[in-house]
Amino acid sequence: MPACSFCHREACAFLAYMPRHFCPKHFREFFERRVRRTIREFGMLRGVGRLGIALSGGKDSLTVLSILAPIAREMHIELHAITVDEGIAGYRDKLVEVARQACGELGVPHHVVSCKKEIGFSVDEIVALKKRETSCSYCGVFRRWALNKKARELGLDKIATGHNLDDVAQTFLMNMLRNEPMRLARFSPNGGLVREDGFVDRIRPLFRIPEKEVALYALLAKLPVQFCECPHAHEAFRNEVRNFLNEVEARHPGTKFRVVSALLSVQRALAERTAMEPLGYCSLCGEPSAGGACRKCEMADTLSRALGKARN
Ligand code: SF4
């Protein structure tokens, strides 16, 4: 490996879009500077007194936790980590333990929310019911619902998530492919275009950083990362979109950055031209919802019926 472009140490990374070589020290400094700049540029922590971190226990959320913990101390922000346990044996239980240890080391209060306890179903049970939809469709809806409910109970102003550049580019493409433009309007680096009373805004401090760089940072910072994959990941539509984007990126470097720039441009245009309808509330559970009953309640109802049939 050639020398670092900023000192004489051996480089551990080459960022083609710079283009510069980085030794471990300069890579970590560059990484942290970018995250801090993103937080400042988008005013992500403006007016925040209590901040949540959606801590799955994976590399992205552990990275967010390790970078936000000192920033929160500097800004006198109270930090809480929330881990949603969807009930995936052999996978999530390991990551819940990783998350617990990481929070213990940093002195951050850690809250674990179980989908089984809150909603009545674990993802493993949903898989066993062999629904037509993938388990990921249920898992994503249940996780967001549980996270939002817990964040509100804790009185949090915002929730930081570990979404990186790859995740955001994938989400943008998935929304386009599914023709779900209003979801696009509600997904942004710093909350959606509409502020909802019952919905705790998300911030995404890593949204400009490619996934590979997050993985390298987590390794260099010696975060307790377990590189394990959910056993149901192969079912996810996201997986197909991820592979497609990776192939295009390999042939046309910079594609993911351009997709995320396009997302920001579309959102700016939407913000200027569209009067967004605020969300209502679910008639069953009272959480924010675009229709009568929210998707979590509709899905839980479908599962209850399927479970009843399976028992008969
Ligand atoms: Fe849930 Fe699917 Fe992600 Fe597994 S891959 S954690 S089932 S959304």
Per-residue pLDDT of the chain (312 residues; tens, 9 = 90+): 799 999 999 999 999 888 899 999 999 999 999 999 999 999 999 999 999 999 999 999 999 999 999 999 999 999 999 999 999 999 999 999 999 999 999 999 999 999 999 999 999 998 888 665 678 889 999 999 999 999 999 999 999 999 999 999 999 999 889 888 767 766 777 776 566 678 899 999 999 999 999 999 999 999 999 878 898 887 778 889 999 999 999 999 899 999 999 988 888 777 666 556 667 888 999 888 877 899 899 999 988 888 776 666
Q: Which atom of ligand 1 has the smallest separation from the CA of 123?
A: 7
Q: What 3-state class would DSSP assign to 165?
A: helix
Interatomic CA distance for residues 65 and 269, integer angstroms: 32
Distance 280 CA to ligand 1 centre (A): 27
Q: Which atom of ligand 1 has the smallest separation from the CA of 230?
A: 4
Whole-number pLDDT of residue 185:
67
Q: Quick check: 185 and 275 in contact, CB under 8 A?
A: no
Interatomic CA distance for residues 108 and 121, integer angstroms: 28
Whole-number pLDDT of residue 26:
98
Interatomic CA distance for residues 299 and 307, integer angstroms: 12
Whole-number pLDDT of residue 198:
83
Distance 139 CA to ligand 1 centre (A): 6
Nearest CA to ligand 1 atom 6: 230
State whether the beta carbon of 135 lies less than 6 angstroms from ligand 1.
Answer: yes
Whole-number pLDDT of residue 61:
98
Nearest CA to ligand 1 atom 2: 136
DSSP state of 299: H
Distance 151 CA to ligand 1 centre (A): 21
Distance 306 CA to ligand 1 centre (A): 21
Whole-number pLDDT of residue 133:
64
Q: Are strands 20-22 and 50-54 parallel, antiparallel or unpaired?
A: unpaired
State whether the beta carbon of 122 lies less than 6 angstroms from ligand 1.
Answer: no
Distance 95 CA to ligand 1 centre (A): 13
Q: If you write DSSP's letter for every residue of 126-143 in order, what string do you get?
A: HHHHT-SS-HHHHHHHHH
Distance 273 CA to ligand 1 centre (A): 35
Q: Are strands 280-281 and 288-289 parallel, antiparallel or unpaired?
A: antiparallel
Nearest CA to ligand 1 atom 8: 136
Cβ within 8 Å of residue 124, ≥6 positions away:
87, 88, 89
Q: What 3-state class would DSSP assign to 2?
A: coil
Interatomic CA distance for residues 196 and 305, integer angstroms: 31
**Helix-, strand-, coil-residue percentages of the chain, each rounded to 5:** 50, 10, 35
